[in-house]
């Protein structure tokens, strides 16, 4: 229930211009607005067009949300025109320039805030945007970091010693209640050495920025990883678990319009899913940033085909190449799997698909948004991690939650720089992992039972009086207290001058 004071609050949300940051922050904006506060999200012209329909739905529901587009200086840093989202970059080597363009948004943002009414009560930005702390300091408003990874990943990466990582090929994470073993190339710290000194500097600055923020918001629910939540709270002050934010999307239209415009009519997709028996279909999707070699794409396709399991295979962005399309045509692939396989070229309404009763498994790259969406929909997963924190998420899914099986990837995407090394898992491994997940034995039943339980708990968390709902209330109260203190300080200063 919104109070009169909370209705005066104005939250300014600033995501890194990437699908994995924008989508959950837009979802969180809706959850905030349900508490009666005003929410503005900073975006760019192209991204504003992508997400306009989401905000339109929210406004129809009387939620106070608006998008504010600012110019993104892509060409000024040498990026191609229109490069306003990480998923538009043709190479990971362009990340540095993209971050530089993001930093150049600081001055126009400050000019915007000076004229913005009502004035922002706080800034919530995703973790890579460290320059937003300077903006918050300038206007004397609190900044909160919105984390797009789990407490498990945050805590483990905090306690790992990079020096010790590089001294051995594999190691156990120390001082945690689960037996988690990594190779050095699978950890965040281990992968840093393969990147440029510029990227190392960015990561160091992100860590330093954490200490300056008023608090940290994490897209999880406390019941999902209680030990790691408690442990991370001892490391960082004011941790608020506010997810799963994707569960704010309850209507079909909301699920369809979440993210890019879908490449397939939702009615066609739903009709195909409706034609399948319950808990029969595998959904295969690898995110918006994972660049997969042609040889690996072929092995994935052959594995899906030979499994004899009904499937939906999403081929997005950089992976939808002429080479892949030619192979699909030469192999007559879609005709071979007609009736039990569907290929969607481009964006698909993932939450809508995952929440359908026919879905039994999710072959995923283990990005945190996808991982949490799979958990929220009660769908066991086949883990196919590629880079960043995805190997952490695999360990979390398989070893801690016990709701997934590994496909067998052992090294990061860095090995795909050469086509000859372009196959990390073969089609037999893909087929075997699918069959293992679909298994009707005791182990498979336990996985499905656990996944169903977690989905139930996740839904309770964002409902009224649930853990995440209450944490959002605590966040709002924290900001109101700071505003009262600021107002009291200003009144005392006035009194001293009289």
* Model pLDDT for residues 457-494, shown as the tens digit of each residue: 999 999 999 999 999 999 999 999 998 877 766 666 65
CATH superfamily of this structure's domain 6-242+466-497: Glycogen Phosphorylase B; (3.40.50.2000)
The whole-number average pLDDT for the span 44-68 is 89
How far apart, in whole angstroms, are the C-alpha atoms of residue 463 and residue 471? Answer: 11
How far apart, in whole angstroms, are the C-alpha atoms of residue 55 and residue 177? Answer: 42
Phi then psi dihedrals of residue 383, to 5 deg: -95, 130
What proportion of the chain, given as a percentage, has pLDDT over 90? 67
How far apart, in whole angstroms, are the C-alpha atoms of residue 26 and residue 10? Answer: 15
| Architecture of the 253-459 domain | 3-Layer(aba) Sandwich (3.40)
**Residue boundaries of the structural domains of the chain:** 6-242+466-497, 253-459
Residue 413 pLDDT exceeds 80: no
**pLDDT at residue 444, rounded to an integer:** 92
Judge if 6-242+466-497 and 253-459 fold alike in CATH terms. yes
**pLDDT at residue 423, rounded to an integer:** 83
What the block records as the tokens of 7 is 């209705």
How far apart, in whole angstroms, are the C-alpha atoms of residue 292 and residue 25? Answer: 27
Residue 421 pLDDT exceeds 60: no
End-to-end CA distance of the chain: 40
Phi then psi dihedrals of residue 171, to 5 deg: -160, 160
Instruction: Catalogue the E-assigned strands of 51-121.
Output: 65-69
Residue 262 pLDDT exceeds 80: no
Instruction: Catalogue the E-assigned strands of 110-257.
Output: 122-126, 143-147, 170-172, 181-183, 215-218, 239-241
CA distances from 282 to 71, 290, 312, 423 (A): 40, 19, 6, 21
pTM for this entry: 0.92
Condensed to tens digits (0 to 9), the pLDDT of residues 125-162 reads: 999 999 999 999 999 999 999 999 999 999 998 888 66
Strand partners, 189: none
**pLDDT at residue 486, rounded to an integer:** 78
How far apart, in whole angstroms, are the C-alpha atoms of residue 16 and residue 21? Answer: 6
Nearest to 287 by CA among 350, 225, 235: 350
Lowest mean pLDDT among 83-87, 359-363, 394-398: 83-87
Condensed to tens digits (0 to 9), the pLDDT of residues 67-80 reads: 999 999 999 999 99
Q: Spell out a b/e string for 119-131, using b for 16 or more CB atoms within 10 Å of the CB, else e.
A: ebbbbbbbbbbbb
**pLDDT at residue 208, rounded to an integer:** 77
The 10 Å Cβ neighbour count of residue 62 is 8
């Amino acid at each position: 229930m919104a109070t009169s004071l909370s209705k005066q609050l104005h939250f300014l949300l600033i995501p890194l211009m990437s699908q994995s940051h924008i989508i959950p922050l837009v979802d969180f904006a809706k959850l905030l607005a349900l508490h009666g506060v005003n929410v503005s999200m900073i975006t760019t012209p192209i991204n504003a067009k992508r997400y306009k329909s989401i905000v339109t739905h929210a406004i129809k529901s009387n939620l106070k949300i608006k998008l504010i587009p600012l110019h993104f200086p892509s060409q000024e840093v040498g990026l191609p025109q229109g490069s306003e989202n990480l998923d538009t970059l043709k190479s990971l080597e362009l990340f540095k320039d993209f971050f530089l363009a993001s930093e150049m948004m600081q001055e126009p943002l400050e000019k915007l805030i000076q004229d913005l009414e009502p004035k922002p009560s706080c800034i919530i930005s995703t973790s890579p945007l460290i320059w937003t702390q300077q903006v918050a300091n300038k206007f004397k408003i609190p900044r909160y970091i919105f984390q797009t990874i789990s407490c498990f990943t945050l805590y483990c990466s905090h306690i790992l010693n990079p020096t010790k990582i590089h001294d051995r090929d594999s190691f156990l994470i120390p001082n945690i209640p689960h037996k988690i073993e990594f190779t050095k190339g699978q950890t965040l710290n281990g992968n840093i050495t393969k990147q440029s000194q510029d990227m190392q500097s960015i990561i160091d600055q992100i860590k330093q920025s954490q200490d300056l923020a008023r608090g940290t918001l994490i897209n999880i629910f406390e019941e999902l990883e209680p030990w790691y939540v408690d442990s991370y709270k001892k490391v960082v002050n004011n941790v608020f678990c506010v997810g799963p934010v994707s569960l704010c999307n309850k209507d079909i239209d909301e699920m369809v319009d979440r993210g890019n415009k879908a490449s397939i009519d939702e009615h066609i997709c739903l009709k195909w899913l409706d034609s399948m028996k319950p808990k029969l279909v595998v959904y295969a999707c690898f995110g918006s940033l994972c660049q997969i070699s042609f040889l690996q794409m072929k092995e994935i396709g052959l594995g899906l085909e030979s499994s004899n399991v009904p499937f939906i295979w999403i081929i997005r962005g950089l992976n939808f190449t002429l080479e892949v399309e030619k192979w699909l045509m030469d192999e007559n692939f879609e005709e071979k799997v007609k009736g039990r396989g569907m290929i969607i070229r481009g964006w698909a309404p993932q939450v809508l698909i995952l929440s359908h009763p026919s879905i039994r498994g999710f072959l995923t790259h283990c990005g945190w948004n996808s991982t949490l969406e799979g958990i929220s929909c009660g769908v066991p997963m086949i883990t196919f991690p590629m880079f960043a924190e995805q190997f952490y998420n695999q360990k979390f899914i398989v070893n801690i939650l016990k709701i997934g099986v590994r496909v067998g990837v052992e090294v990061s995407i860095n090995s795909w720089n050469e086509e000859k090394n372009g196959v990390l898992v073969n089609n037999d491994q893909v087929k075997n992992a699918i069959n293992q997940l679909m298994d009707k034995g005791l182990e498979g039943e336990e996985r499905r039972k656990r996944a169903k339980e977690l989905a139930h708990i996740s839904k309770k968390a964002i409902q009224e009086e649930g853990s995440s709902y209450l944490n959002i209330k605590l966040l709002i109260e924290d900001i109101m207290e700071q505003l009262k203190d600021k107002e009291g300080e200003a009144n005392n200063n006035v009194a001293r001058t009289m």
